[in-house]
Amino acid sequence: MSILQAIELSKQYNNVTALSGLNISVQKGEIFCLLGQNGAGKTTTINIFLGFLKASSGQALIKGVPVEVNGETTKKFTAYIPEVVQLYPNLTGIENLDFFSQMAGFRYSKEELGMLLEKTSLQKEAHHKKLAAYSKGMRQKVAIAIAIAKSADLILMDEPTSGLDPKATAEFTRICKELAAKGKTIMMATHDIFNAVNVGTRIGIMKEGRLVHTLDAKSVTADELQKIYLETI
Ligand SMILES: Nc1ncnc2c1ncn2[C@@H]1O[C@H](COP(=O)(O)OP(=O)(O)OP(=O)(O)O)[C@@H](O)[C@H]1O
């Protein structure tokens, strides 16, 4: 069974067509990278799966459950890492993790919360610092810890590596691969071709609200992907 599936998904914003019969199927343990020009429909796709937006037609299914009909259920399966992680700036990393875990119905001891943050390799001395003092990469680690804490099977990410330095990107890639090896499924929208080849298992290229090309990440180099991308879009 697909963990995430879009079937003929379409979305109109007044007279703008953002998605036009999109079909995607992502299997357990995959890291599916969505590439596409600005306006191709990547964020719209993610927002429909998160239940933030309603599709105009077609189906969005998470673990076979339609998002629109059973939003409360599909939200339990899903975590979200946005481009800019917005957590509570006046709470520490550990307090944010505790708060959002409880919101998702999970209660952890202080020790367990610390272990969850350690899994993302957030430096120990940062656990008790306020989020306001965190870098983008550090905030992302808290968001990943929240995803692990809520035991989400599917993690949706929107341009997660934009603005990360190369070391933070490499660390982020390692964490994504570890999560996928443990059976989590990731779909990320990205503009970073190099990162897509590095982190992805499959790469989809979107154009004008459709998936027009799908590639096995192992079968291409970044240069080859860039060429295919430029020829496609
Ligand atoms: N709230 C909105 N109202 C009207 N049109 C919108 C709205 N949100 C997105 N669109 C339009 O829908 C289309 C798809 O936008 P979307 O943000 O999904 O693309 P994207 O691939 O994520 O782009 P980017 O790479 O710039 O983030 C674009 O034409 C965009 O202008």
pLDDT tens digits, one per residue of 51-75: 999 999 999 999 999 999 888 899 9
Per-residue model confidence as pLDDT tens digits over 13-36: 999 999 999 999 999 999 999 999
pLDDT value of position 111: 96
CA dihedral sign of residues 213, 218, 222, 224: negative
Per-residue model confidence as pLDDT tens digits over 178-225: 999 999 999 999 999 999 999 999 999 999 999 999 999 999 999 999
**CA 45 to ligand 1: nearest atom:** 18
Please indicate whether residue 109, judged by its CB atom, sits closer than 6 Å to ligand 1.
no
Please indicate whether residue 38, judged by its CB atom, sits closer than 6 Å to ligand 1.
yes
Domain ranges of the chain: 4-232
Cβ proximity of 156 and 48 under 8 Å: no
9 alpha carbon – ligand 1 mean position (Å): 15
Report ipTM for this prediction.
0.97
**CATH code of the domain occupying 4-232:** 3.40.50.300
**CA 16 to ligand 1: nearest atom:** 5
Sorted by sequence, the CB contacts under 8 Å of residue 157 that are 6+ apart come out as 80, 81, 82, 186, 187, 188, 189
**CA 14 to ligand 1: nearest atom:** 4
175 phi and psi angles, rounded to 5 deg: -65, -40
State the pLDDT confidence band at 1, using cuts at 50, 70 and 90.
Answer: confident
Distance CA 218, CA 190 (A): 17
pLDDT value of position 76: 92
State the pLDDT confidence band at 164, using cuts at 50, 70 and 90.
Answer: confident
Identify the CA nearest to 196 among candidates 213, 218, 211: 218
Per-residue model confidence as pLDDT tens digits over 100-157: 999 999 999 999 999 999 999 999 999 999 999 999 999 999 999 999 999 999 999 9
For ligand 1, mutation pick of 43, 56, 206, 211 (most atoms within 8 Å of CB):
43
Decide if pLDDT at 168 tops 90: no
